[in-house]
Structure 1
Amino acid sequence: MSNVMAVGGVLAALLAPTAPSQPVAVPNERITISVETVNGSGCPAGTAKVNTAADNTAFTISYSDYFVLAGAGAKPTESRKNCQLSLRVQIPQGFTFAVTQVDHQGFAYLQRGADGSQHSHYYFMGTSPTTSVAHEFTGPYTGGWQTTDRAAGLVYAPCGQERNLNVNTELRVDAGGSESGTSFMAMDQSRGSVRSVYHLSWREC
């Protein structure tokens, strides 16, 4: 059984705003993030939560019902699930932020012949969705996994405008040539300390 960490991918540009000034220290006033809307079979109402880091350098999203199954006993609809969150980010006046890196964590059990994948993209409301980043896993595989999406360049939210940050993720699993049994992938906190961490960079407007 392999237990390989999948790392890579490029986080496409979220938005192309007017270039702000030089980087400054992280604002002292605590930012707040709330889930405005939630859609998708991977995050039924009340199963996705957001928490901000005390130092304003990141926020996390945790899920409690986000997993996919394929193989013996699994329904076709259970092999692919997604979660679409619209986040309202309230930040101190005079600052703007960019997402620099996103780390996703989960667990998987893939039998020989099965495979799974994790997909994600992010964008500000009113702009075109970024290109989806995909990470592939091949069975046999048992254990934790982590994927990392890194920004090709820091692109900041427009100063003085309120635009929700949309976060879309998806999990897939395919039984493939596995003859029996069930394979699964999960991004589900009930199976351990699992979360997605969104790292932030700050600038003064």
Structure 2
Amino acid sequence: MPSMISQLAVLSALLLQAAAQTLSISSVGAIGTGCSPGTVKAHVNQADQSVSLQFSNFRADAGPNYAISDGRVNCQLTVGVQVPAGYQFAFDQTVLNTAYSVSSGVKVSSSTTYYFQGELSESSGTCGVTGPASSSYTTLVNRLSPTIWSPCGKASIVSINTDLRADNGNTNNSGSISVRNSTDASFIWRKC
């Protein structure tokens, strides 16, 4: 039995060591119909192991008084990150703090896709609400799949694209979704 206990102790130590790593951001760029330059801020919350993105006016609207283009907005962030030697990170989910109001026949949704520049694989997740429904503050969680790992132990650039949609299946009704305060992208570590 000591062999099993020592194996568990070693595994626990490795997991704690991986969790204790820090991610730092060296640059942030934003482009898209939902985020003009200077309207997005990003910072790393080491305690929660997440990257927090703060938007100033990120919303999608659908209905009789809106153009079709108002129903889909996106924000593509390009984030320079520093990864500790011997480690990789991956995002596992995004949590969007949102407000929405949708009439019958209208659906609002959020989706997130990320990839590391120079890599072919990407990870994505989507969630949505179909009307009638409304909430002045709720969280929508996009679980990202598959897990895509950063290059091992070096600086890299990760692109994170978030989009909001208001799809109007009933042209007489309306719907809207907006990000309130922030979106948090949580990350996980592993040794490489």
Question: CA separation in 2, counterparts of 1:75 and 1:152?
Answer: 32
Number of aligned pairs? 177
CA distance in 2, matches of 1:65, 1:82: 11
Give the match for residue 187 of structure 2: 200
| Alignment match of 1:167 (pick from 157, 160, 168) | 160
Tell me the CA shift for residue 129 of structure 1: 4.9
* TM-score normalised per structure 2: 0.78
For 1:170 and 1:109, the matched residues in 2 are separated by 17
Cα distance in 2, alignment partners of residues 70 and 39 from structure 1: 22
Q: Give the fraction of aligned pairs with identical amino acids, expressed as a percent.
A: 26
- Pair 1:150-2:143 in alignment: yes
CA deviations 1:100-148 (Å, max 9, x no partner) are 3322221101012211221111111112252542223111111034232
Q: Which amino acid aligns with 2:157?
A: N
* Length-normalised TM-score, structure 1: 0.74
Structure 2 Cα separation of the partners of residues 151 and 77 of structure 1? 26
1:74 equivalent to 2:66? Answer: yes
| 2:127 is equivalent to residue 140 of structure 1 | no
Q: Give the drift of 1:82.
A: 0.7
The 5 A counterparts of 1:101-112 are 101-112=93-104
Query: Higher relative CO (CA 8 A, sep ≥ 6), structure 1 or 2?
Result: 1
Structure 2 spans left out of the alignment, 5+ residues? 1-13
Question: Are 1:38 and 2:25 an aligned pair?
Answer: no
What root-mean-square deviation, in Å, do the aligned CA atoms of Structure 1 and Structure 2 show? 2.5
Paired with 2:144 and 2:102, the residues of 1 have a C-alpha distance of: 29
| 1:185 and 2:169 correspond | no
Runs of 4+ in 1 over 6 A off after TM superposition: none
Q: Residue type of the partner of 1:176? A: G
Structure with more strand by fraction: 2
Structure 1 residue 204 displacement after superposition: 4.1
**Contact kept? 2:115, 2:159, Cα under 8 Å:** yes
Q: What is the rounded CA distance, in whole Å, between the counterparts of 1:196 and 1:73 in structure 2?
A: 28
CA–CA distance in 2 between the matches of 1:73 and 1:31?
Answer: 44
| 1:183 CA displacement | 1.8
- DSSP 3-state at the match of 2:156: coil
2: CA distance, partners of 1:178 / 1:141: 17
Match for residue 119 of structure 2 among 127, 132, 135:
127
Higher helix share: 2
Displacement, 1:58?
Answer: 1.6
Structure 1 pair 40–177 and aligned structure 2 pair: CA distance change class (3 A): same
Segments of structure 1 that go 5 or more residues without pairing to the other structure are 1-21, 190-194
8 Å CA contact 2:84–2:153 kept in 1: the answer is no
Contact 2:27/2:80 (8 A) holds in 1: yes
Cα distance in 1 for partners of 2:38, 2:78 equals: 14
